[in-house]
Amino acid sequence: MTDQTTMKTSVFENTPCIRCDGTGYIRGYSHVMHGVCFSCGGRGYHLTKRGAAAREHFDAAIARRADELVAGEIVWYDRFCANGSASQWVRAKVVSIEPDELNVGRLRIELYRRSAGKGTDYDLPCVTYGCFPDTTFKSADPAITGPARDAAIAYQATLTKAGTVRKRI
């Protein structure tokens, strides 16, 4: 049995991963990718069809196009989307946005992210060159994510187990 303090959760409907028993890690495989469960990706759960539909609704509500960003905004950005590697969403602060001189029609977005173990300051520069104006970022502003999360949970309640909207009778 797994220690309940290590169980991970999501606000959207989910089921615990049966491979790692909800911990996100498999101790016997700690020598491979530090034991991260490949089945759930280290989350410890799998979203149900209803939960996945609600998560998509939430992601659409907090999505921000690159050309809509403003300096000072805190966003999540896909760190590896440019080179085709696995996605890793990183929280960062937008410092500046300007046209990219090398890639006409694209944007140069300067972001600062937190360095590991260094408190709450956004002090590690990371720049996104040649970003298309329609590249998706996710807002990390609680004023946007809070109501969007509540709306997504309410939307989830209107779905069937198959993840489709219930028919009104």
For 117-167, write each residue's pLDDT tens digit.
Answer: 555 677 777 777 678 888 889 999 888 999 999 999 999 999 998 888 887
For 16-30, write each residue's pLDDT tens digit.
Answer: 999 999 898 998 888
Instruction: Judge whether 68 and 133 are in contact, CB under 8 Å.
Output: no
Tell me, what's the pLDDT at 129? 67
Instruction: Judge whether 55 and 152 are in contact, CB under 8 Å.
Output: yes
Q: Which two tokens stand for residue 10?
A: 């999501």
Burial 121-143 (b: 16+ CB within 10 A, else e): ebeeeeebeebeeebbbbbbeee
Q: Which domains does the chain have, with CATH numbers?
A: 4-47 (no CATH), 63-142 (2.30.30)
